[in-house]
Amino acid sequence: MEPLDVLVYLAKFVAFLLIFIPWSLHVVYRFTQTKWALFAKKSHKIPEKLIDDYDHKFVKLSGVRLHYVEEGDMTKPLLLFVHGFPEFWYSWRYQIKHFAKTHHVVAIDQRGYGDSDKPEGVENYSAKVLAQDIQEVIKQLGHEKAILVGHDWGGAVAWFTALIYPEVVSKLIIMNCPHPGAYEKVMRAVKSQILKSWYIGFFQTAWLPEITIGLDDYWALDVAFRSKFAGLKNQQNFTDEDAEAWKATFSQKGALTPPINYYRALVRGRDEAVDIINRVAKPSTLIIWGEEDPFLAIECAEYSQKMCQKAKVAYVPGSSHWVQQDKPEEVNKIMEEFLN
């Protein structure tokens, strides 16, 4: 080997060390940053204003202790707000103060959610148990009846409360949630609804839904509440601070399983509930429907109306599934007209 060749060889070797090795390390580093970040847990904190600007309380029921936020005059009629999945009392932030002028406003964390108790086991989240919680909350807060307002799963619980305990519901306001009997009819009649309900099947599996929702710092929550996928055109009402509140709530230990258990209990308990779900809702009912809901076919509104003694449907054009947060002014106005 000539000395010059040796020099060239050495130069290449040094270049290799200087370029290739740092590059490889960089690639490995990037890999750990992105792929491992999928499983990394960031810490989240409830924004101060959620704690300071609202009156937080607890109510003890026969099975669980529930957390709630309260505003307004307790001698006025009770307006009881029940949130959906995956949400908590704060989903009603555009309604709580607004209706406090005219009502005793209470927004609960349903069992298994937020600061409320989270009993174990799928059976503890059956629709009958959830409806019983609502009936007990009304009594414990010193009222005979409530105007019950429910959205999504909170809507389902409100429907079940009206079907099982009609005597405690003076009026029913439902947002983007079908009457349980109507839902089954829509599943048979409207083919697209089966596709829209894909996640209910997924939620029947163990562990996998919890892991998936937690991936990449609860990316699923961003997709659900802040993306076009969710039917959102106007995203201004879901601020970064709101997203932080959501992530702080659902990143608490064991915070995902109880909400998913609602779906597991629904499917397992279907046959037992069959006599309840085909009942007609007796209270005077208002159905508010955000038209751009990717999870529920718009036909659900009309089918639900037919399962009520007396019901009015108000469609909200351009609204996502999260109608009371997406179009608060419209929703509050529709509610006021119905309440007066």
Decide: 307 and 179 in contact? Cβ < 8 Å. Answer: yes
Contact segment (CB under 6 A) with ligand NAG among 133-141, 185-193, 219-227, 322-330 equals: 322-330
Q: Which is nearer to ligand NAG, 93 or 103 (CB)?
A: 93
What is the token pair recorded at 82? 């029940």
236 belongs to the binding site for ligand NAG (CB under 6 A)? yes
Q: Which CB atom, from 162 or from 292, has the smaller least distance to ligand NAG?
A: 292
Does residue 47 bind ligand NAG (CB under 6 A)? no
Residue 145 CA to residue 171 CA, distance in Å, equals: 9
Q: How many residues bind ligand NAG (CB under 6 A)?
A: 11
Residue with tokens 């505003």: 71
Q: Which of residues 108-127 bind ligand NAG (CB under 6 A)?
A: 119-121, 123-124
Considering only the stretches 67-75, 160-168, 225-233, 323-331, report the one whose residues sit in contact with ligand NAG under the rule CB under 6 A: 323-331
Closest separation between CB of residue 21 and ligand NAG, Å? 51
Residue 199 CB: number of other CB atoms within 10 A?
14
Residue nearer to ligand NAG on the CB measure, 98 or 179: 98
φ/ψ of 175, rounded to 5, equals -120, 125
Tell me the pairing of strands 65-71 and 55-60.
antiparallel
Radius of gyration of the chain (CA): 25
Asked whether position 62 contacts ligand NAG by CB under 6 A, the answer is no
Between residues 187 and 243, which has the closer beta carbon with respect to ligand NAG? Answer: 243
Where does the chain have alpha helices with state H?
A: 3-15, 21-34, 48-52, 93-100, 127-140, 153-164, 180-189, 191-196, 198-202, 208-226, 240-250, 257-268, 274-277, 299-305, 323-326, 328-339
Q: Considering the rule CB under 6 A, would residue 328 count as an interface residue with ligand NAG?
A: yes
Say whether residue 63 binds ligand NAG (CB under 6 A): yes
**Distance in angstroms (rounded) separating the CA atoms of residues 39 and 114:** 22
Of 172-180, 187-195, 243-251, 327-335: span binding ligand NAG (CB under 6 A): 327-335
Stretch that binds ligand NAG, among 50-58, 171-179, 271-279, 324-332 (CB under 6 A): 324-332
CB 79 within 8 A of CB 105: yes
The rounded distance, in Å, linking the Cα atoms of 59 and 299 is: 37
Which CB sits closer to ligand NAG, 135 or 251? Answer: 135
Q: Which candidate in 117, 133, 152, 242 is catalytic?
A: 152
Retrieve residue 256's tokens: 């995902």
Active site residue 263: yes
Residue nearest to ligand NAG (CB): 121
Supply the minimum distance, in Å, between the C-beta of residue 49 and ligand NAG: 12
Which residue in 169, 121, 166 sits closest to 148, CA to CA? 169
Whichever of 119 and 294 has its CB closer to ligand NAG, that residue is: 119
Q: Is residue 237 within the footprint of ligand NAG (CB under 6 A)? A: yes
Q: How far is the CB of 318 from ligand NAG (least distance, A)?
A: 9
- Dihedral, CA of residue 132, residue 133, residue 134 and residue 138, to nearest 10: 100
For 165, which DSSP code? -
Nearer Cβ to ligand NAG, position 93 or 171? Answer: 93
Q: Which of 41, 253, 329, 340 binds ligand NAG (CB under 6 A)?
A: 329
Residues lying near ligand NAG in the complex (CB under 6 A) are found at: 63, 119-121, 123-124, 236-237, 327-329
Active site (catalytic) residues: 152, 263, 321
